Structure 1
Amino acid sequence: MRKTMKPIAIQEIPEHIQNDMGTIYAIHFPKQGYTSDVGIIETANGTYVVKRAKGERFCASLEKDAKALTCLSSTTLPIPTLYRFHEAKHKKEAWALLEYIEGEPLQQALEKETNEAKRVST
C-alpha cells in the first residue's frame, strides 16, 4: 500500500530555498514520492523540484540521494542539478532543491516495462 504524503505549503519551504527560486507562482504535486513530499514549483526564475523528507530514516535517504546527485554531476548522465540540500535536525526534516527535467518518472517507466529482466536490473 502506498503511503500518502502531505503536500508542501509555500510557508513551510525554508527561506533560503525560497530565495534561491525567486517568486513562487504555483506548486504542483506529482503522483510520486514514496519517502518524501515532492513539489514541482513554478517561479519567476524557472521550474524547480523541491523534496521534503520527515523523520530520521527518510532524511537520511534524501541526504544519500543528494550526495549521489553531487557525485554524478560530473558525468554525462542526464541527471538533475542539486541546487541546495538543507537539513533541519530540530524539526527532523530535510529539503532538496533540484533542477526540473521534463520526462517520465522512473517508477512509471518501470511499470510499463514488459521485460522482467530489464525491470529487475534497473
Structure 2
Amino acid sequence: MTDDVRNVRDALSTITEYWQPHRLTSINDYDVKVVKLHGEFVWHTHPDTDELFMVVSGELTIQLRDRDVILGPNDVFVVPQGVEHCPRATGEVHALLFEPKGTVNTGDAGGDMTSELREFA
C-alpha cells in the first residue's frame, strides 16, 4: 500500500461497476474500501467481524431482520458481527467500508455477487 494521499471522490469516479469494492488504503489490519451501490445486495453475515458503512452520497438502507437502518450522506452505521443484513440502494450510493483485511463482501452467503477486492493503480 502506498503512502500517497488518496482522494475519496477521485477514487469513486473511477469505479464503473456496482457492488465491487476497491481498496482505498489500509490501516493496521483493516482495509478502507470505496464502493458504488445500486439495487439490492444479498442477505449475509460476517460471523467474525463488524462492518462499518459510511455513506458519502445517496441514501442507503441496511436491512436487518428486525428493522431497516437508513443512512444519508456522512452517516455511519456499524453492523455487528454475526448480524444478518442486506444493503439496498434505490438510487446510486457512494460509500466507504471499513473491514478487516480479507473480508469477503458477501460474507457467509457467497454466490454471484462475491467480488475479489480490487486495487487502484
TM-score (norm 2): 0.33
Q: Which has the higher contact order (CA 8 A, sep 6+)?
A: 2
TM-score, length of structure 1 as denominator length: 0.33
Which structure shows the higher strand fraction? 2
